[in-house]
Chain A
Amino acid sequence: MAAGFGLTAAADASITRTILGVAASSYASPTTNGLYVGLFNTQFTNSTKAGATEWVVASDGSYARQQIGAAGANWTIAAYANGIGVVWTNSLQVTFPGVTLNNQTLNSVGFIDTVGPTGGNINVFSDLSAPTPVNIGIQVIFAGPSPGPNGISFTTY
């Protein structure tokens, strides 16, 4: 299946409910803790937009979701521009600890509203085009704006 990106299927549904004023199962804004970055060894895919398997600490002994910033901090949000939309990017570098115990495979990145280690709502994802090995001793890093380029970018248009 093709690699996908954007809102997960669950977020599509919950945001629609919020827009329509349906209280049940509406979108829960991560106002307190913001979003966390999670790493996955399978894809969400363009068609399903769900069901990816997250790394676990039983396999990568140092794995933990990494917070972008509490209460929406550490995002740079640009104003809407015609032809581009709204762009938002990470303001600071996001660094995962080096892998321990077992080599891992990175196939997707998810943005989740809780620290975990499991559970919460995966709101947005970005699949890789192919699985990428991440061996013991290797860190996954999303660079900040300096020196850049930003490791995480979103556009809504």
Chain B
Amino acid sequence: MNVEIVNEPQPPPKRGSLVAGCHILLVEEKTGKTVNEVKTPGYFVNEKRLREESKY
């Protein structure tokens, strides 16, 4: 029996349109000391995109 090997179609690359991310510093104006910093969820999505190599 002949077996034909068929490559399965590859799923499309991951896409998510425009992602906006912010890394926010909260700084005491009088002293210049950073009292808090916040990264928005979009920031982490961008970081992941930049780290991840294309799988397709």
Query: In the complex, what's the smallest C-beta–C-beta distance from B17 to chain A, in angstroms?
Result: 6
Residue count of chain B within 8 Å CB distance of chain A: 33
Which residues from B are CB-within-8-Å of A127?
40-42
Q: A124 is contacted by which of B18, B46, B50, B55 (Cβ under 8 Å)? A: B18
**Which label, helix, strand, loop or mixed, suits the secondary structure of the A interface?**
strand
CB pair A129–B40 under 8 Å, yes or no, is yes
Closest to B48 in A: A155
Whether A84 contacts B42 in the complex (CB less than 8 A), given A109-B24, A138-B28, A155-B18, comes out as: no
CB pair B41–A3 under 8 Å, yes or no, is yes
Closest to A152 in B: B22
Which residues from B are CB-within-8-Å of A126?
20-22, 40-43
CB pair B40–A142 under 8 Å, yes or no, is no
A-side residues, CB < 8 A to B, are 3, 5-7, 82-85, 87, 97-98, 106, 109, 111, 124-129, 132, 134, 137-143, 149-157
Can you pick out 8 interface pairs between chain A and chain B where the beta carbons lie within 8 Å of each other? A3-B41, A124-B20, A127-B42, A128-B24, A139-B27, A151-B23, A154-B21, A155-B50
